[in-house]
Structure 1
Amino acid sequence: MPIALSVNLNKIALIRNSREGDFPNVESFGLKSIAAGASGLTVHPRPDQRHIRPNDTRLLALMVKRLSSQEKPLEFNIEGNPFAPARDNYPGLIPLALETMPNQCTLVPDSDSQKTSDHGFDLTKDGAALAPLIAQLKNAGIRVSLFMDPDLEQIKLAKKIGADRIELYTGPFAAAYEESAEAAQAVFEQHSAAANLALELGLGVNAGHDLNLENMTLYRDLPGLQEVSIGHALTVDALFLGFDTAVAAYCTICKA
């Protein structure tokens, strides 16, 4: 089956936020992504609002619902830290998800001090606190994915606390790919073992972080991979190729 490409719009919002006004407009790039073939959109609102803001999330959620059809179903994915408190006009991830009703909410253990997400959950520590939040989202009809490292025992715990999917953190894979083919294959095999276990347990498998047009030629063979969320590399590629062409190139490699 083709892998769904969810375009992460955070970097578009980051560029916008570097100036006053609304240029580039995040919603227009969401439209461009879908027109170029993306299966959905991802946003990762943070309490410090460094890129995607709560109102961006609301507008994009409505847009995806409006454009989705039986012929071309689209998905909206909200990522973030469920434990980060509300701040200013950021209501917190769970309230924002329950308000906007995405198809998927991906829970991520990040903080303001991190430039970007850089590790998966430790469910021996956070599992008990996550379980009721997962149940709350699922009871509202929202699919829940947990951002995870390829740790087999942790993936068993993800199933135990009620997650629907895992999103494998691919930063170490991308770094290994830059190092050598052998290093990339070794990490890929770890991820494959994690994906196979997830599939055995009945969990869906997503992936994201530092995936690009080069390393996706290997990573797209991950067993059962359903969705990749790509933003940073796609935005950089768009500087060279043009945005529509970059999205289409990622769609092609996902469907290969």
Structure 2
Amino acid sequence: MVDTPQESTAPGSGADGPDTRSESPRKKPRSFWRELPVLIVVALLMSFVLQTFIARVYLIPSESMEPTLHGCAGCTGDRILVEKIGYHFGDPSPGDVVVFKGPDSWNTEFKSTRSSNVVVRGFQELGSIVGLVPPDENDLVKRVIATGGQKVECCDAQGRVLVDGKPLDEPYIVYDFPFHPGTQDCTTPIKSGRCFGPYTVPEGNLWVMGDNRSNSADSRYHVGDEYNGTVPIDNVIGKAVAIVLPPSRWGTISSPNPQTN
């Protein structure tokens, strides 16, 4: 006679008996207010990474780049998006509109925006780290005209800037000093305000100028400093690629290479 296996008759395991096995208690959902500090910290860290290594928005406070970028007195200054990745893989090129930290000679009129109150200044510095407050530095925006090793000067017979002896094609220029061949040019007793150079750009540096040539304290204005008016590439923060505010000014920022072949 073969024994037939019997089903377990342990308490709670029968088909009809109640299941007395204990269930693990459900976790109580976290309160939103308990998670909020974590979310804020994550958002601030993401903002820090984004604005330090990828892109950041800057305000145009002057009219040196009119009409490409608005910053004129009485108007709403453009806020521009500056991308920081591209120049990790290559140097700025002629025609690029770049944001850079002003070398020492460019900082004579710079005034710190930080409070004299130690506590307030501390919060301002913290806000700057995460991108909520502008950095306490003289950040400027200009267009690259010539790079290391190139010779730049003005002007040819038509009043154009020359790089390595070749005239530039600069359709973005609207405001410039008067230039009248034979009457007011680079050979007359009273020279045109366009005239400068020639200067050779040191390796690793850039010659930069504002699109508003008649109202821009750019490389021409600083030729007496240690860099002969140029800006070290190490000072470049990034390339201006778009206008993000005000909405009426939305659009990309063109960077045509002005150097003719």
Scaled to the shorter chain, the TM-score interval is under 0.3
Structure whose residues are more often helix by fraction? 1
- Normalised by the size of structure 1, how large is the TM-score? 0.25
Structure whose residues are more often strand by fraction? 2
- Normalised by the size of structure 2, how large is the TM-score? 0.24
* Structure possessing the higher relative contact order (Cα contacts under 8 Å, 6 or more residues apart): 2
Answer with 1 or 2: which has the greater Rg: 2
